């Protein structure tokens, strides 16, 4: 089969489309899946470059532990292990496979059944590919961690990314919240459903300096200290850091709880549990309450171009990779 092989940390340009052996079932709880689509996520970009360097301690000192990256997939079941009762040959499945050894940037992958869910017939394959990772980030940060309530005010920093596009719609349409989205101007303009008054271009406006305060802040980048963030959080407000530079995340983990106790706010870091919340988000997509946004489609052989687009942060929503 064809696969994009990552032999070492680099820029992504050095990924090579290679012929490798088609994967076989490794355990009774595995499925072999023919990949229909995958996407580009921050995990993939981080593993391709080995940056931030600190993460090499976890994911491989000299090269990523996994040669075939690709953190989420949609595909067709080819074969199942003896103990798999959930799926049969021909079922279309999807999932965030970042804790299952990755493997989306290939024609086939062997994946544990626990990392997969059935794709409903009504759900388009490419939209399905765009859901699992971002849906988990958005649902878990808003619902499981921030415990969002109907009608609250929400700010999403990084609203133009995979998590932000879904999170803003979940808050707006499912929880009836007023949502302020923060990102670059060209991304905000593309998100027509985000009202003009509620879109902040972070190159011109600092959301902690407007005087406006929110019940919930979901932050894809964590570029501010908790002290600074207090200026934008209402009493009782919850801040959830979804991602950011390791130093900022460590600082938040150490001082966030203390500042929170002193100021009646809560500071949280999200630890993603792959595919948790996917069922709920899938229901909202099928009900047309929310809509994933596909940025661009690339062939598997053009993965380096897709990674460059992601790395330059030109994407709005999700970049989809198609093996054919």
Binding site for ligand NAP (CB under 6 A): 41-43, 134, 137, 157-158, 160-164, 182-184, 187, 202, 220-221, 223, 242-243, 270-272, 313
Between 175 and 202, CB nearer to ligand NAP? 202
Count of CB atoms situated within 10 Å of the CB of 13: 11
Smallest gap from Cβ 43 to ligand NAP, in A, equals 6
Burial class (CB in 10 A: 0-12, 13-18, 19+), 121: exposed
Between 61 and 205, CB nearer to ligand NAP? 205
Residue 46: phi and psi, rounded to 5, are -65, -40
Between 42 and 189, CB nearer to ligand NAP? 42
Count of CB atoms situated within 10 Å of the CB of 196: 8
Contact call for residues 318 and 292 (beta carbons, < 8 A): yes
Between 43 and 267, CB nearer to ligand NAP? 43
Sign of CA dihedral 85, 90, 96, 101: positive
Q: How far is CA 266 from CA 15, 123, 253, 254, 314, in A?
A: 42, 37, 11, 13, 32
Which residue number places its CB atom closest to ligand NAP? 161
Closest by CA position to 229, among listed 186, 237, 21, 126 = 237
Between 32 and 128, CB nearer to ligand NAP? 128
Smallest gap from Cβ 143 to ligand NAP, in A, equals 15
Smallest gap from Cβ 242 to ligand NAP, in A, equals 4
Q: CA angle, corner 106, sides to 103 and 107, nearest 5?
A: 125
Between 153 and 180, CB nearer to ligand NAP? 180
């Amino acid at each position: 089969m064809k696969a994009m092989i990552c032999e070492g940390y680099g820029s992504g340009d050095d990924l090579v489309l290679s012929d490798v052996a088609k994967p076989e079932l490794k355990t009774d709880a595995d499925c072999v899946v023919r990949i229909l689509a995958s996407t580009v996520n921050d995990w993939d970009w981080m593993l391709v470059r080995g940056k931030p360097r600190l993460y090499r301690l976890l994911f491989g000192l000299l090269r990523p532990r996994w040669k075939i990256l690709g953190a989420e997939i949609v595909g067709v079941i080819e074969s199942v292990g003896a103990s798999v009762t959930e799926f049969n040959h021909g079922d279309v499945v999807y999932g965030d496979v970042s804790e299952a050894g990755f493997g989306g940037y290939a024609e086939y992958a062997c994946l544990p059944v626990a990392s997969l869910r059935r794709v409903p017939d009504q759900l388009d394959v490419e939209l399905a590919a765009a859901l699992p990772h971002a849906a988990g980030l958005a649902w878990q940060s808003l619902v499981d961690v921030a415990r969002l309530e109907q009608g609250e005010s929400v700010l999403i920093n990084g609203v133009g990314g995979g998590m932000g596009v879904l999170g803003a719609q979940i808050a707006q349409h499912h929880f009836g919240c007023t949502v302020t989205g923060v990102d670059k101007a060209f991304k905000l303009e593309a998100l027509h459903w985000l009202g003009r008054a509620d879109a902040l271009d972070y190159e011109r406006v600092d959301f902690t300096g407007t005087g406006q305060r929110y019940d919930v802040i979901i932050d894809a980048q964590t570029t501010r200290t908790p002290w600074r963030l207090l200026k934008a959080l209402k009493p009782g407000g919850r801040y959830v850091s979804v991602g950011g530079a390791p130093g900022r995340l460590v600082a938040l983990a150490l001082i966030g709880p203390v500042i929170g106790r002193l100021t009646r706010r809560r500071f949280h870091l999200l630890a993603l549990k792959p595919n948790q919340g996917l069922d709920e988000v899938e229901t909202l997509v099928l009900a047309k309450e929310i809509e994933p946004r596909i940025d661009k489609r690339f062939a598997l052989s053009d993965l380096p171009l897709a990674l460059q687009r992601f790395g330059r942060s030109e994407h709005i929503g999700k970049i989809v990779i198609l093996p054919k």
